[in-house]
Amino acid sequence: MTHRGTVIFFCAKMGAGKSTQSKTVASAHNAVLISEDEWLSILYPSQINSFEDYISFSGRLRPLVKQHVQNILRTGINVVMDFPGNTKKQRAWFNSLTSEVGAKAELIYLKVSDETCLKHIAQRRIEQPARAAFDTEAMFHHVTQYFEEPDINDQQHFKVTIKSG
């Protein structure tokens, strides 16, 4: 049997620390790190100004990313994806991405309070002024209404780790 890489991805509310954790995990696993925010900002600079824009451009990106990640996994290299797995639909995409090539996937759920997320978002607005228009408390609450915690069904497809913070 051919060895396939493993995908590691995250489920967490906006501002919980997915990007920070993805860098740490990628380094620890000697894995390729792929960041949705980086790809979107390079491919669609200054074009994401609303949640609807994000949904649209993210949807355009996913087929390319899926094929790219599957090619990496086929070589046996691990991939850490700084892409949200915050809804059942998003997690189904990760499942199809890995199952189609016979790879494994690990889901890390960062269980962080809303208050902590909002503090991180406020700090991010200071550190990354270009994101200030999108990274707001109102956007946090808007995005959070769609958030779905991992459940027993996810454990059938992924190794699930919960990190509280």
- CATH number, residue 97: 3.40.50.300
Note the pTM of the prediction, 2 decimals: 0.92
Residue 31 lies in a domain: yes
Per-residue pLDDT of the chain (165 residues; tens, 9 = 90+): 578 999 999 999 999 999 999 999 999 999 999 999 999 999 999 888 888 999 999 999 999 999 999 999 999 999 999 999 999 999 999 999 999 999 999 999 999 999 999 999 999 989 988 777 788 999 999 999 999 999 998 999 999 999 987
What is the total residue count of the chain? Answer: 165
Residue 157 lies in a domain: yes
Residue 11 lies in a domain: yes
What is the number of domains present in the chain?
1
For residue 136, which amino acid is it? T
**Which residues 6+ apart lie within 8 Å of 26 measured at CB?**
8, 32, 33, 80
Residue 75 lies in a domain: yes
Domain span including residue 20: 6-164
